[in-house]
Amino acid sequence: MDTGRVVVIVPPNADVDLSCRAGVGDLECLGHHDSGPDTRIDDFVDNGADGPGGLHINLTARVGAGQVEVRRG
């Protein structure tokens, strides 16, 4: 894993199974926040504004040192 910034934009109504991690850094993942060393937001589901059903995304976003951001677009 490298240093930098990861930004992922998912569709507004997608069902997302999500894990975000950073060796050192900041996480902002669909309304969940964490920062510091060994930051993790593991295995949560966000079904979007329309609730369950439709497009399903399994997503793992990682960075060694830096920022991870997952948001809806």
Domain ranges of the chain: 3-72
Instruction: Check residue 14 and give its pLDDT.
Output: 97
Instruction: Check residue 1 and give its pLDDT.
Output: 63
φ, ψ of residue 2 in degrees (nearest 5): -110, 180
Instruction: Check residue 42 and give its pLDDT.
Output: 93
Question: Residue 70, class by beta-carbon neighbours within 10 Å (0-12 exposed, 13-18 middle, 19+ buried)?
Answer: buried
Q: Compute the distance between CA of residue 6 and CA of residue 10 in angstroms, rounded to an integer.
A: 13
Instruction: Check residue 2 and give its pLDDT.
Output: 84
Along the chain (73 residues), what's the average pLDDT of each consecutive run of 10 residues? 91 97 97 97 94 95 97 96
Q: Compute the distance between CA of residue 42 and CA of residue 17 in angstroms, rounded to an integer.
A: 9
